[in-house]
Structure 1
Amino acid sequence: MSKKTAYLLGILITIIIGTLLYCYLCDSCYCCPPDNVTETSTETNIVVPEPEMESVTKNGLSLSDANGDFNIKINDNFNFKTSNFSILDPLSENVSSEVMRLKDYLAANPLKTIDITGYYKSDETNDSAFPNLGIARANAVKNYLVSQGISAKQINTLGKLNDSIIPDDTNTLFGPLEFGMLTAESDATDEALEAACEAIRKNPIVLYFNTGQAQINLTAEQRKKIAVISHCVDKLGLKIQAIGHTDNTGSAATNMRLGQERADFAKGYLVRNGILGTNIETSSEGPNSPIADNSTKDGQAKNRRTVITIN
């Protein structure tokens, strides 16, 4: 081998050895990838989970007598819009026919009573006169049953918070109610209810509002009293009295008319909130029963009032 050939061969071997050493010692080089590294695509598929859809709650009408042979179990029920207590029309024929069976059964068993518990959600707006929409809904169903001939004395109304009920996409709640049946040992008067009714007589609801006012805004305490008054009417056969009062400004005739208008306005409010109009009596005291001094503006304002009580 000539010296020139040996020289060129040495240069080639040096280049090869240098390249191998460079690849081995350089971590960021890809000429000699490690055995445990595999090529991957730079594209990644991102999977976006679909939102979970809540199932609409549909409660059928269910009512049975544990101490008798009466039973109702159907898919239909009384339905309501969210934040509302009016029963949606049309009512199912199945519900109507079962109500007739219930009417006959309760008439034949006067010691039987039914509990109607209305459900409501915490995110609903309660514009009713009752403490919550559950009681208002139960009261609406009670009124329907009474209209079909069932005695109000055999119906109890309650309300219960239930955030698990889900409306449909039209904000309809299907059967937000629970029904139960009880058997009383006797038809003795409820002493606790009588005491509650007497408390209303001693401390009635007093409303102060202007003649042109279109809405009555009850306090939480007044809403509780409305629920008690409703039970007094249903169970004891009492009547609601709405009595209008005025100050002594103007003529006696004008004030008597104004007092009556205030009483009628209060009655209209109660009727719109599910109290049967046949259970409400209105009257006017005009300026004849002041509770404050009419010589002051503050006293006159206190005398312009409507009192809601029971007799």
Structure 2
Amino acid sequence: MKNTTLYLLGIIITILVGTYFYFSCCSYCGTIVSQKEEPEKSVTPAPVAPKATSYPFALGAGDFAYSTEDNFNFNMSSPNYLEPVSENVRNGILPGLKNFMTNNENKVLNITGYYTSDEKNNSAFPNLGLARANSVKNYLVSQEIPSSQINTNGKLMDNMVPDNNIYHGPVDFAIEEVSEDAEDEIKAMYDKITANPLILYFDTAEASINPSEEQRQKIADITHYLDKVAKAQCQITGYTDSEGSRSTNMRLGQQRADFAKAYLIQNGISESRIKADSKGSKDPIATNDTEEGRAKNRRTVITIK
């Protein structure tokens, strides 16, 4: 009886031990197999949007220095600064910058406007950066800072990042001494403009045009000259071919001259600096007997005097 009991007890212990090792080892193996069959999926992090760029309004020259994180702001593809101008920027311009420039005629303020190659340039200037610099220049002139002491430039800056289609401060400022060659440069520009004036050609009975890159550069040169020479004026004269009556041609020539005038005013040239008139079919530069010749006569000539 005793042997039988021990025998049964051994069988029970064997069953219990076997059961323990089965669940311990095989369940572990099952876990390994399951992990091999269903590996964890990697999660790709969401792309991080680049931080919008922002350039401060900062100036420093001798005994004048001013800076603020605010600046002139522009919509994408726009040559015109957004209004209202920040109070912090206005506080730097008046009276500080105005007084400094007025009391230091040997100083010039260089304004460099930034632009990107993705933007569309609908201004009258060769690039959007120069157009933006010109827009800021006009604001400073409205604050009685002499345009003769302001230079404008444009610079491609493709690393600019907009903030909801707005560029924050895409303009840079620097004050330096007037160039020793400044007078010679102005004289050379006068000779360049008068020797090769800006000529806009029109289709028959049309009075509008989209300037080419070369024509835009001539507009920039004329603007620069008017900024530097206070008594200079922009002269616009409209011409036609010989088709139609004299009165009709005089009116059409004036319309073309007025279009050019409005275009220049829209792009920052003061109306008081522009004179526009018409000569109709007078003074042709080519024969009116051919279409090619008539096309050359339908023109508006823009120069300085």
Structure 1 pair 254–235 and aligned structure 2 pair: CA distance change class (3 A): same
Q: Deviations over 1:110-140 (max 9, x none)?
A: 1111000000001111111111100000000
Task: Quote the offset at 1:79 in angstroms.
Answer: 0.5
> Which residue, 248, 251, 257 being the options, matches 1:254?
248
> Which residue, 103, 110, 122 being the options, matches 1:108?
103
Q: Deviations over 1:160-219 (max 9, x none)?
A: 0111111112x0000001100012376x75212321221111111111124765752211
- Considering fraction of residues, name the structure with more helix: 2
Structure 1 pair 286–142 and aligned structure 2 pair: CA distance change class (3 A): same
Structure 1 pair 211–157 and aligned structure 2 pair: CA distance change class (3 A): farther
Structure 1 pair 306–255 and aligned structure 2 pair: CA distance change class (3 A): same
1:116–1:156 Cα contact (<8 Å) kept: yes
Matched with 1:233 is: 226
User: What is the aligned-residue RMSD (CA, Å)?
Assistant: 2.1
Matched with 1:174 is: 168
> Which residue, 143, 146, 151 being the options, matches 2:146?
151
| SS of aligned partner of 1:190 | helix
> Which residue, 5, 20, 45 being the options, matches 1:49?
45
Question: How many percent identity over aligned positions?
Answer: 48
In the alignment, does 2:214 pair up with 1:218?
no
Structure 1 pair 113–263 and aligned structure 2 pair: CA distance change class (3 A): same
Structure 1 pair 184–298 and aligned structure 2 pair: CA distance change class (3 A): closer
1:61–1:74 Cα contact (<8 Å) kept: yes
Which amino acid in the other structure matches residue 162 of structure 1? M
In the alignment, does 2:108 pair up with 1:93?
no
Task: Quote the offset at 1:268 in angstroms.
Answer: 0.9
Matched with 1:22 is: none
Q: Distance in 2 between matches of 1:293 and 1:76?
A: 58
Structure 1 pair 214–75 and aligned structure 2 pair: CA distance change class (3 A): farther
> Which residue, 187, 194, 200 being the options, matches 1:201?
194
Which amino acid in the other structure matches residue 156 of structure 2? L
Task: Quote the offset at 1:303 in angstroms.
Answer: 0.9
Which amino acid in the other structure matches residue 47 of structure 2? P
Structure 1 pair 214–264 and aligned structure 2 pair: CA distance change class (3 A): closer
> Which residue, 281, 286, 297 being the options, matches 1:287?
281
Provide structure 1 residue ranges, at least 5 long, that are not aligned to the other structure.
Answer: 1-31
Q: What TM-score results when the alignment is normalised by the length of structure 1? A: 0.82
1:211–1:262 Cα contact (<8 Å) kept: no
| SS of aligned partner of 1:137 | helix
Q: Is the deviation greater in 236-245 or in 39-48?
A: 39-48
Which amino acid in the other structure matches residue 46 of structure 2? E
| SS of aligned partner of 2:176 | strand
Provide structure 2 residue ranges, at least 5 long, that are not aligned to the other structure.
Answer: 1-25
In the alignment, does 2:55 pair up with 1:59?
yes
2:239–2:281 Cα contact (<8 Å) kept: yes
| SS of aligned partner of 2:303 | strand
